[in-house]
A and B are shown apart, each in its own frame.
Chain A
């Protein structure tokens, strides 16, 4: 199932307007500055309520970003075509912001499983107004009548978190913002498969790939161990451990920590391990090809497809790699039984920025293959 079947981005970073219909596994290609990473960051921002943490912004939250800059507002649509926007209350007409507060009151308190005391209700609304940020849903420019039915199915975790917020527990304002964002996102009936556990939404940017930490979970280690052996990623491997690899050679065993292994190997393990943690969620990866041999890329694509389907993960990748595009375009090309269904899961999207407008050209793997092979075009752009 595709968690995000339709995406609209307005005035977010370099993108003024863009509509996009992704599939389960999406490969975004295009020149530098064409907006590939911005799409990934917009998806992350709307699902998490904060920016992708980078060395430049240290993971600033959208409220700070939006208020300070005033030009950067993210809007994204879910499968029900509702808009989710982040903006400053002070930017809105007074009567409109009053309606928002009124509706917030209704959504947050009147139909909730938990009902804080009026004192904390006021405190919370004041906090929202003072922080000058609120996430809400609008349709055709007006607050729609709010259906609280989906809200009733909230996880206990979120309810417990919210309880502790209102009770003045030790929660940072940043965490509060994130919970609030998740809370509002959920309250408008965003896909039920994206639950309040933000752990199933992962963004792997270029620097993250290099910091690999194998899970301490023994079951996960066994799976990774199997994976390394099955694909013969390293010769003579006996066992994968939490902090390194045990090898056997001529009846002798020896241990080597991950730090002495190649970057490509670590990145591949990191990526595969991360996909496994994204069950029923969204995985965003920037340029997975970096540091990896084309042979590893093939293994990566095969396992990505397998796990994405098995674990119901929607994947968004950006790339500049011809090898990766070819691997996707060629996927299941010669396996007639599986090819049709599996190729339907893949979409290759070429983004072209022309006079500040972003144009998207979508390809099925076979269309991409035809354009590459028959028309001799370089899909990455000329």
Chain B
């Protein structure tokens, strides 16, 4: 059975972007939004979603979850970390000029009461005891970076297919940090 990994991200654009990035590497992906997770069970939808993904009959290697910009990824990451897991957890977020990193560290100290982060680069923080798990922070907001590279505004495009096209074009001309993100997701 292929190794299974769970990826948390913030919104629909991230979800499409990460799916395309992994798809280009022939990785199979299951994606879920927060509504689908809540719908899985009144009380333990998160756990049910994970359990279904981990079952052997689910052949996908990646579970991508987006929280519909509810800003809960960091909180949830440390909660999930505190459970026994058999899978690496990867979080991909906008750095938001350093605010995200501060929140990440504050939540870590509050919940875990110790420093678990190992900084590998300005964008990448792996967990000390579980190197496959970690957090990647986009150096620039994804939509801004897409606009800069492709000249197209992702926000103003409504159809998913069109968004995919733009993001595909972005990946084809990707800046260096996208390669680093790809490595993080794969290893």
CB of A377 within 8 A of CB of B79, answer yes
CB of A377 within 8 A of CB of B83, answer yes
CB of A376 within 8 A of CB of B47, answer yes
10 contacts between A and B (CB under 8 A): A34-B84, A350-B82, A372-B44, A375-B46, A375-B79, A376-B46, A377-B46, A377-B79, A377-B83, A381-B84
A377 CA / B72 CA spacing, docked (Å): 13
Size category, B interface:
20 to 34
Chain B positions within 8 Å of A145 at CB level:
none
Residue of B48, B51, B76, B84 near A352 (CB, 8 A) is B84
Question: Nearest chain-B residue to A359 (Cβ)?
Answer: B82
Once A382-B50, A382-B51 are accepted as A-B contacts, the answer to whether A376 and B82 lie under 8 Å apart by CB is: no
CB of B44 within 8 A of CB of A352, answer no
Q: A67 to chain B: closest CB distance in Å?
A: 34
Tell me if B166 is interfacial: C-beta within 8 Å of chain A: no
B-side residues, CB < 8 A to A, are 37-38, 40-48, 50-51, 72, 75-76, 79-80, 82-85, 129
Chain B positions within 8 Å of A375 at CB level:
46, 72, 75-76, 79
Q: B122 to chain A: closest CB distance in Å?
A: 29
> What is the interface of chain B mostly: helix, strand, loop, or mixed?
helix
Chain B positions within 8 Å of A361 at CB level:
82
Q: B108 to chain A: closest CB distance in Å?
A: 14
Chain A positions within 8 Å of B47 at CB level:
376-378, 382
CB of A376 within 8 A of CB of B79, answer no
Once A376-B37, A376-B38 are accepted as A-B contacts, the answer to whether A381 and B83 lie under 8 Å apart by CB is: yes
Interface centre among A354, A376, A378 (most CB of B within 10 A): A376
Interface centre among B48, B50, B82, B84 (most CB of A within 10 A): B84
A382 CA / B82 CA spacing, docked (Å): 11
Interface centre among A34, A322, A371 (most CB of B within 10 A): A371
A-side residues, CB < 8 A to B, are 31, 34, 322, 326, 350, 352-355, 359, 361, 371-373, 375-378, 381-382
A265 CA / B97 CA spacing, docked (Å): 61
Q: B175 to chain A: closest CB distance in Å?
A: 34
Chain A positions within 8 Å of B83 at CB level:
350, 352, 377, 381-382
Task: Given A322-B43, A375-B79, A376-B40, output 20 extra A-B contacts at Cβ < 8 Å.
Answer: A31-B84, A34-B84, A322-B44, A350-B83, A352-B84, A354-B84, A355-B129, A375-B46, A376-B44, A376-B45, A376-B47, A377-B46, A377-B47, A377-B83, A378-B46, A378-B48, A381-B83, A381-B84, A382-B50, A382-B80
CB of A382 within 8 A of CB of B79, answer no
Question: Nearest chain-A residue to B34 (Cβ)?
Answer: A376
Chain B positions within 8 Å of A371 at CB level:
79
Chain A positions within 8 Å of B37 at CB level:
376
- The total of Cβ contacts below 8 Å across the A-B interface reads 54
Question: Nearest chain-B residue to A377 (Cβ)?
Answer: B46
Q: A153 to chain B: closest CB distance in Å?
A: 39
A41 CA / B76 CA spacing, docked (Å): 33
Once A371-B79, A375-B79 are accepted as A-B contacts, the answer to whether A382 and B43 lie under 8 Å apart by CB is: no
Residue of A34, A355, A372 near B43 (CB, 8 A) is A372
Chain B positions within 8 Å of A373 at CB level:
42-43
Chain A positions within 8 Å of B44 at CB level:
322, 372, 376-378
A34 CA / B84 CA spacing, docked (Å): 10
Chain B positions within 8 Å of A353 at CB level:
84
Q: A321 to chain B: closest CB distance in Å?
A: 13
Chain A positions within 8 Å of B43 at CB level:
322, 326, 372-373, 376, 378
A359 CA / B44 CA spacing, docked (Å): 22
Chain A positions within 8 Å of B42 at CB level:
373
A381 CA / B79 CA spacing, docked (Å): 11
Interface centre among A350, A355, A361, A382 (most CB of B within 10 A): A382
Chain B positions within 8 Å of A326 at CB level:
43
A382 CA / B63 CA spacing, docked (Å): 15
Which 4 residue pairs spanning A and B have beta carbons closest together?
A: A378-B47, A376-B46, A378-B44, A376-B45
A326 CA / B84 CA spacing, docked (Å): 21
Chain B positions within 8 Å of A381 at CB level:
83-84
Chain A positions within 8 Å of B82 at CB level:
350, 352, 359, 361
A326 CA / B43 CA spacing, docked (Å): 10
Question: Nearest chain-A residue to B87 (Cβ)?
Answer: A382
A377 CA / B40 CA spacing, docked (Å): 12
Chain A positions within 8 Å of B129 at CB level:
355
Q: B146 to chain A: closest CB distance in Å?
A: 31
Residue of A322, A372, A382 near B85 (CB, 8 A) is A382
Q: B41 to chain A: closest CB distance in Å?
A: 7
